[in-house]
Amino acid sequence: LSEDNKSCIKNDNKFNCSDSNFMRIGNLCVTRKNMGDSSTLKIPSTVTTVEANGDYCYSQSDKCCWKGTTSTVCNSSNGSYSGCNRTVCNYSAAQEICAKFNYAGKTWRLATNTESQNWAQNIYGIGNNGLMFCNHGFGILTNNSITACNESTLCLGSYANYCKAQVIWLSGSTSSLYAYNARIDTGKFLTGGRTATVLYGASVRCVTEME
């Protein structure tokens, strides 16, 4: 069935991860933009979505996303995908979004730490190439098309007001949840990463295995 479940798709229109919203890396198809930043990458109705600076999330069980200006620090903007205007979500929402994302009839999920490690080499800023992540900055930019984003005062993001557009959620195998910053100079996400509480607002990318 089609994405809206209203029509059949011919078998010869098999999903091959070539849509502008997706990028194939190895055997995984990765969403190139944050979930919620495209009409294709939808957030389910079971997740509360508010405008940035609109509301807080008060408990771990709340599934919340914030849309709008989620970072105040951007040093480049070549392209239509603004580094400051992003959708970020807490961890509960991130899990829910990927579990209910049934695009092309595939099963989607959050990536693991191992799967994400080399993704940074696929970042080409906010133009039309690569995974369109926000880079953390700190003077490590090697290409002026990369956007640096830091924590924002414009996005509540959580009870603690932490809105981290430069961090992505990964599936946690322990009780601690980790998110990683993209490093352009090493071509990898920071090993060890940043420990993020479940109430932080961070970027959500979903992946699926390709046949």
CA angle 115, 129, 205 (to 5 degrees): 40
157-178, pLDDT tens digit by residue? Answer: 777 777 877 778 888 755 456 6
Average pLDDT over residues 123-140: 58
* Cβ–Cβ < 8 Å for 38, 205: no
Question: Hey, which of 44-58, 74-88, 179-193 has the most confident mean pLDDT?
Answer: 44-58
Output the DSSP codes for 15-26.
--S-STTEEEET
* Cβ–Cβ < 8 Å for 151, 164: yes
* Cβ–Cβ < 8 Å for 184, 140: yes
Looking at residue 162, what is its pLDDT? 77
Calpha distance 116→188 (Å, rounded) = 8
Looking at residue 180, what is its pLDDT? 65
4-8, 62-66, 73-77, 110-114: which range is least confident on average?
73-77
Q: How far is CA 206 from the centre of its chain?
A: 7
| pTM score | 0.82
Percent of all residues in the chain with a pLDDT value above 90, rounded to a whole number: 27
Query: In terms of pLDDT, which residue wins out, 194 or 62?
Result: 62
Task: Sort strands 22-25 and 194-195 into parallel, antiparallel or unpaired.
Answer: unpaired
6-10, 37-41, 59-63, 100-104: which range is least confident on average?
6-10
10-24, 29-43, 50-64, 125-139: which range is least confident on average?
125-139
Nearest alpha-carbon partner for 155 in 100, 94, 90, 91? 90
SS3 98: helix
Query: In terms of pLDDT, which residue wins out, 192 or 73?
Result: 73
Nearest alpha-carbon partner for 39 in 21, 66, 22, 51? 21
